[in-house]
């Protein structure tokens, strides 16, 4: 059962972040992805330099036995341990773990410029690779649909309730990793 909580939440203590998880999927689980299920959804509206957007923070259970996964190292107080990289920059210390239990994903949805309370997802956006399969799984859109989407926060929250998928890793033109959902 998914908990829908409209509050800000800190994920400072997460060992397995979206980036460590996706880089692990890319390295060791590229073919099939990893089976995950949505457990909790946190929603918050934000204002950015390009306008208003909604941030969906998804806490997902890792349902497959993941033998290798990158994770941040935490100290005894649960704070992220930093180390110096080869260029002298402080970076998070990473280790390889087995059988991680959960991961947090961050999905940024832009607001429609003319319709209040409507979110948009462009057909070529990285977000579409995650959102389209969610709405396909509910029967809201056909399985062969490849266009953009308009939806409300409530429609996405309902579609995410109990959602399970194989998560694969995409890489955008800037080298940034993003989640791709593949329905079961």
The answer as to whether 146 is a domain residue is: yes
Do 60 and 53 form a contact (C-beta atoms < 8 A)?
no
| Residue range 126-137: mean pLDDT, rounded | 94
Is residue 72 within 8 A of residue 94, CB to CB? The reply is yes
What is the residue range of 151's domain? 13-183
Task: Give the whole-angstrom CA distance, residue 102 versus residue 36.
Answer: 8
Does residue 7 surpass a pLDDT of 50? no
Number of domain units in the chain: 1
Residue 2 confidence (pLDDT):
55
| Residue burial 53-74, b: 16+ Cβ < 10 Å; e: rest | bbebbbbbebeeebeebbbbeb
Residue 146: other Cβ atoms inside 10 A: 10
Reported as a single tens digit per residue, the pLDDT across 31-79 is 999 999 999 999 888 887 777 888 999 999 999 999 999 999 999 998 9
What is the mean predicted confidence (pLDDT) over 141-153?
93
pTM for this predicted structure: 0.87
Mean pLDDT of the region 78-97:
94
Q: Is residue 1 part of a domain?
A: no
Instruction: Give the chain's largest Cα–Cα span.
Output: 51
Q: Please state the rounded mean pLDDT for residues 103-127.
A: 89
pLDDT mean over 127-156:
94
The pLDDT assigned to 1 comes to 53
Q: Is the per-residue pLDDT at 180 higher than 90?
A: yes
State the pairing for strand pair 82-84/90-92.
antiparallel
Domain membership of residue 2 (yes or no) is no
């Amino acid at each position: 059962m998914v908990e829908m909580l409209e509050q800000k939440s800190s994920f400072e203590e997460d060992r397995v972040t979206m980036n460590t998880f996706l880089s692990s999927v890319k390295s060791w689980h590229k073919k099939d992805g990893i089976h995950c299920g949505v457990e909790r959804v946190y929603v918050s509206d934000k204002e950015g330099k390009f306008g208003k957007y909604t941030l969906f923070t998804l806490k997902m259970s890792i349902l497959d036995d993941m033998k290798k996964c990158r994770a941040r190292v935490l100290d005894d107080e649960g704070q992220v341990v930093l180390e110096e990289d080869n260029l002298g920059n402080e970076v998070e210390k990473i280790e390889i773990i087995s059988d991680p239990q959960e991961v947090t994903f961050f999905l940024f949805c832009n607001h429609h410029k003319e319709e209040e309370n409507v979110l948009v997802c462009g057909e070529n956006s990285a977000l579409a690779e995650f959102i389209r399969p969610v709405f396909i799984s509910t029967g809201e859109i056909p399985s062969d649909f490849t266009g953009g989407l308009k939806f409300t926060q409530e429609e996405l929250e309902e579609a995410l309730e109990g959602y399970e998928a194989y998560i694969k890793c995409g890489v955008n033109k800037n080298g940034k990793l993003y989640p791709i959902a593949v329905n079961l």
